[in-house]
Amino acid sequence: MKISVKCHLLILFCFYFNPFIQSAYPKSAFGDFKTKHLYSFKSFSFQKDSSDFLLNAFKKGHSKDKIISIPKGHRPLPSNYLKRKYIRRHLRIFKSGASFLIPEDILGKFGRTILGRNDGQFVMCKKEMDDLISNSNGEITFIEIELGIPSGLWNNIELIRIDIPKPKRLHIRMPSGNEIGANELWIPGGKLPNGFSESVIDPIPQGQYSETKIKKK
Amino acid sequence: MKEIVNKPWDYIFYEKEGNYFLKIIVGSVAIFEVNIKLNASELSLFKKNGLDYIENLAKNIQNSPSKYANRTIK
């Protein structure tokens, strides 16, 4: 019985990771498989090349590099260059909630009545944030590295996790790259360079979010 | 400390003991603050171009925070 299960797994592995077989099937099927299943198998093992996550995302004639080359402020709407199906799938993963991280002193400075910039607040999907926090084991440096924060900037601060259970109410959308929060690391398609999913929502009024202090080691 | 401009969730430009500082909110899903003291060339550009220069400097920092991270003061 055990041998049979092992053989089955081996066949499955060879099937999905054999480049010859992959070329005979639509790439999206494998892109989705990798994104969904590798992600859940290993819980937290992101591929570093974001292009893997953007397989079949772009409409004909568009690419990640073309969009990045357009200066911030002039980038087109994502619906102009991303496939509708891709956008729909992307936004679906935020159904279970959205989250972002912020130092407590910034919250204190600007108040808690409404959070985020007028042109939109970037958020991650709740599941990915859960995995990130769980895998950090309270090591803030781990979170800094994963989210591209300059090293040591979050030392000696209280870090707060903001959760928005119903981001759809706040007009959740694919980032355009024109938002104030979009920096030189931004890539089109709602992905961070290491594969985390990101979206943008309107400023978040009190009552539509919850705060949790990140426990440090 | 005297606040000259305070744009919530964007930046605070302030003066303290004759020095000028810019505190900028940066980041996307992970928000952090870059707080820099204006250097001599930035100060002269501010005196020449006024608050428009500060607005542009804040945008530059928001677009490329890593370039300014080592100048952050706590």
Using one digit for the tens of pLDDT, what is the confidence trace for A39-72?
Answer: 333 333 344 555 667 878 999 999 999 999 999 9
Complex ipTM, two decimals?
0.91
Of the partner residues A72, A102, A150, the one whose CB lies closest to the CB of residue B31: A102
pTM reported for the whole predicted model: 0.80
Of the partner residues B8, B59, B66, the one whose CB lies closest to the CB of residue A150: B66
Instruction: Inspect the interface and report whether the beta carbons of A181 and B64 lie closer than 8 Å.
Output: no
Cα–Cα distance, A84 to A174 (Å, whole number):
11
Quick one: CA dihedral A142, A146, A152, A156, positive or negative?
negative
Residue A156, pLDDT score? 86
Instruction: Inspect the interface and report whether the beta carbons of B72 and A153 lie closer than 8 Å.
Output: yes
CB contacts, 8 Å: A113 with chain B: none
Interface of B with A in 12-41 (CB under 8 A): 12, 25-33
Lowest mean pLDDT across A8-12, A59-63, A105-109: A8-12
Residue B2 has pLDDT above 80, yes or no: yes
Cα–Cα distance, A126 to A13 (Å, whole number):
29
**How many beta-carbon pairs below 8 A join chains A and B?**
77
Residue A23, pLDDT score? 37
CB contacts, 8 Å: B12 with chain A: 109
Residue entry with tokens 């040591």:
A152
